[in-house]
Amino acid sequence: LLQEMTSSIPFGLHSGYKNETLRLWQSSGSELHPHNLMLPLFITDESPDAKQDIPSLPGVSRWGVNSVLEFLRPNVENGLSSVLLFGVPEKVEKAGDGGAGETDDNPVMEAVRRIKKEFPNLTVACDVCLCPYTSHGHCGVLNDDAEGSINNRATLPCLASQALAFARAGCDIVAPSDMMDGRVLAIKNKLAEHGFGNKVSVLSYAVKFSSSFYGPFRDAAKSAPTFGDRKRYQLPCGSRGLAARAAQRDVSEGADMLMVKPGLAYLDLVRETKNSFPHHPMFIYQVSGEYAMLYHGAANGAFNLETTLMEVLTSMRRAGADVIISYFTPRVLEMIK
């Protein structure tokens, strides 16, 4: 029989994964540990003790600068090692340049200080973008033209100043999500000029696509643009070439870590980006629409949430993600502890 077999694997594959230990060996590099997860948090200025549930993201809330500490405590005890903060300002005066984002009126500033004081070993990242703080809801300063196009050059110093303000508040990572050309270099230069060059790292939303999967997030962050869309600066969903060039751009400007966003529909580009830059930690943002799909699918009996969630997260790790930013992080920490 063996002489008649022509397979390049004449004895088959089944013997290599016949029990749980062997299956784990075959899955090496795709395991999930607490350090592979980052928890996104929405910080509101409504009141320090606020807890605002988000209907489009069941189980997710906006937090005040006090209430977020109580929410974090059991998660830190379960191994949570990093968070990503988004400001949801409701009391600030918004302007065309988003300048309020770099002031203490931004609730993220106080949240960083309190979180680092309460949990000094928790790594804190701050999303850097103008959209929560601009009057028009776009991610950059606008030109004075009929189209309301982005003024990339004028936007860069605004982003760099916001990043510096987060650094001064005590964050460990700044994460520019705006998709402006040159923003990583502008931020790295600003941090270096003020003594934070070796203290605060840059996690770049390098490969960020224009996506309908962001819908619930825009509700949560109250950051939808007042006109138009973001297709002129976020990547078109069918583009591989632009994805590669965007990652190369940000690496050349000094990004410490890279992100692909969204996750599940873009795993091919996660793998391509990781292959191109194997020495840069790779992040996937499992975005709000992905969370909502899994939540509602399970709630309606389509599948078991925990089983399917672990399959999805494992596939992200297999594709090359070192860290997954997920609203499911508290649940996953309970599952794997």
pLDDT digits (tens, 9 = 90+) for 286-310: 999 999 999 999 999 999 999 999 9
Q: 191-229 burial by CB neighbour count: b if 16+ within 10 A, else e? A: beeeebeeebbbbbbbbbbebebbebbeebbebeeeeee
Give the pTM: 0.92
List the catalytic residue out of 117, 208, 222, 231: 208
Closest listed residue to residue 82, CA positions, set 220, 294, 283, 256: 283
β 61-63/82-88 pair status: unpaired
Question: Mean pLDDT, to the nearest integer, of 5-26?
Answer: 78
Q: Please, are residues 61 and 53 in contact by the beta-carbon 8 Å criterion?
A: yes
Using DSSP's 3-state secondary structure scheme, residue 284 falls into strand
Amino acid at 69: L
pLDDT of res. 63: 98
Confidence of residue 18 (pLDDT cuts 50, 70, 90): confident
Chain-centroid distance, C-alpha 26: 28
- Per-residue pLDDT reduced to its tens digit, 307-337: 999 999 999 999 999 999 999 999 999 999 8
Average pLDDT, the chain: 92
- Per-residue pLDDT reduced to its tens digit, 49-108: 999 999 999 999 999 999 999 999 999 999 999 999 999 998 888 888 888 889 999 999
- Measured CA to CA, the distance from residue 104 to residue 319 in angstroms comes to 39
Confidence of residue 195 (pLDDT cuts 50, 70, 90): very high
Q: What does the angle CA 225 – CA 226 – CA 227 come to, to the nearest 5 degrees? A: 90
Of the two residues 8 and 249, the one the predictor is more confident about is: 249
- Per-residue pLDDT reduced to its tens digit, 138-159: 878 888 886 778 899 999 999 9
pLDDT of res. 217: 83
- The residues near 190 (Cβ < 8 Å, ≥ 6 apart) are 160, 161, 163, 164
pLDDT of res. 35: 96
Lowest mean pLDDT among 23-37, 108-122, 181-195: 23-37
- Per-residue pLDDT reduced to its tens digit, 199-214: 999 999 999 999 988 8
Report the greatest alpha carbon distance in the chain.
79
Note if the bond before 40 is cis, omega within 30 degrees: no
β 37-44/282-286 pair status: unpaired
DSSP letters, 204-270, are EEEEEB--GGGHHHHHHHT---SSS-STTTSBPTT-SHHHHHHHHHHHHTT-SEEEEES-GGGHHHH
Known catalytic membership, residue 208: yes
- The residues near 193 (Cβ < 8 Å, ≥ 6 apart) are none
- Per-residue pLDDT reduced to its tens digit, 107-125: 999 999 999 999 999 999 9
Q: Encoding tokens for residue 189?
A: 């230069």
Known catalytic membership, residue 222: no
- pLDDT of 40 strictly over 70: yes
Confidence of residue 1 (pLDDT cuts 50, 70, 90): very low
pLDDT of res. 143: 86
List the catalytic residue out of 188, 190, 261, 274: 261
Of the two residues 1 and 140, the one the predictor is more confident about is: 140
Using DSSP's 3-state secondary structure scheme, residue 146 falls into coil
β 282-286/201-208 pair status: unpaired
Q: Please, are residues 283 and 324 in contact by the beta-carbon 8 Å criterion?
A: yes
Using DSSP's 3-state secondary structure scheme, residue 24 falls into helix
- Measured CA to CA, the distance from residue 313 to residue 36 in angstroms comes to 10
pLDDT of res. 15: 81
Q: Please, are residues 224 and 137 in contact by the beta-carbon 8 Å criterion?
A: yes
DSSP 304: -
Amino acid at 48: P
